[in-house]
Structure 1
Amino acid sequence: MARLWYRYAAMNAGKTSSLLQVAHNYEENGEKVLLLTSALDDRDGDGVISSRIGLKRSAETYSPRTDFLERLKDVKVACVLVDEAQFLTVDQVRQLHRWVHAKNIPVMCFGLRSDFQGNPFPGAAVLLTLADNIEEIRTACRCGKKATMNIRIDENGERVQEGSQVLIGGNSRYRQVCARCFYS
């Protein structure tokens, strides 16, 4: 039976490289996959899934207006892989969950659990509720403890505690931290 997966982590844990490895594994076995990424993240170009270690692949983009039941209606793949899944809407997560169980094709979502203020992304919160399998990808804080949170930093490396929930940035704008460092 196919499942909806959510593999989440703090920044810099290897979520995207893990997604690209899964795609490679399917394709090595002669299977076709569909890669999707948020249109919000265009740091490396529109429709590019790019990891911090240099791996890149072209992908289709989704936006808050994407209807996954319509988009995936006639798709012929072994698996759907979704990067930046925290940017999915609540309805989109419900559509993916429904589609997985109707079509018996797995969907693997990779993303953050919370923003730089410790608040959940709506898509992540629903994925944590509906996903059939939830896996944490681990990474470390600079202090050596397990990082579970993210902080936003400015161009001087100073912490920013206010602002919009979404500001695309990567390592130049965000850092993964443990809960103790998040609150200190």
Structure 2
Amino acid sequence: MAQLYFEYGAMGSGKSIEILKVAHNYESQGKHVLLLTPLINDRDGEGMIASRIGLKRPAHVIEPDTNLFDMIKNEVDHHDLAAVLVDEAQFLTKEQVDQLAYVVDELNKPVMTFGLRQDAFNNLFEGSKRLFEMADKLVEMKTICSFCGRKATTQLRFADGKPQYKGSQIQIGGDEAYKPTCRYHWFHPDLTMMDNEKE
């Protein structure tokens, strides 16, 4: 029985590495997968899934008005599709998450989504919120806090070395803009440690 999965974690927890690994595992067995990523995720180029360790590969682009059920149904009609893999799923709309649920229930195809739980201000993204409501299986991917080594539960945005606690929910960036943190260090980042890293 197919299921809708949501694997979530703070930035740097290996989500993109995991989706690339899952795709490789399917394809090494001769199975076809559909890789998807939202248009807004353009840090490494439009339609590219890229990990921080340098692995990357192209994916089909999801635009804000893309009907994912129709897109995937078209793929099913032309290929023996084994699974759908979605990177940066936090950027999906509520409707698109529901469309992925329809893919699981009506087309009997597993859908694995990967993304952040919440933004840099600890508010749920629309896509993540709906995935928490709709997914059959939730898997937390873990990484450690940049300041203390405890489990990171979120990420803190920085600009010019200063923590940012307000601004646009979506700001695409990597290690230069975000650090994974535990809750304590989200409220109390160790800026002296960051200064020492620059030296």
TMscore range, shorter length:
over 0.9
Is 1:148 equivalent to 2:159 in the alignment?
no
- Displacement of 1:43 after TM fit? 1.7
Is 1:116 equivalent to 2:120 in the alignment?
yes
Report Cα offsets for 1:109-150 as digits up to 9, x if no partner: 000000010000011011011100100000000201100011
- Displacement of 1:85 after TM fit? 0.2
Aligned to 1:105: 109
Give RMSD over aligned pairs.
Answer: 0.8
Aligned to 1:30: 30
Long gaps (5+) in structure 2:
189-199
4+ residue runs over 2 A deviation? none
- Displacement of 1:74 after TM fit? 2.4
Identity of aligned residues (%): 48
**TM-score, normalized by length of structure 2?**
0.90
**2: CA distance, partners of 1:88 / 1:74:** 19
**2: CA distance, partners of 1:65 / 1:50:** 23
Could you tell me which of 81, 90, 93 is aligned with 1:89? 93
Aligned to 1:5: 5
Structure number, greater radius of gyration: 2
Say which SS state the counterpart of residue 171 (structure 1) adopts.
coil
Long gaps (5+) in structure 1:
none
- Amino acid in structure 2 at the alignment position of 1:27: E
- Amino acid in structure 2 at the alignment position of 1:136: E
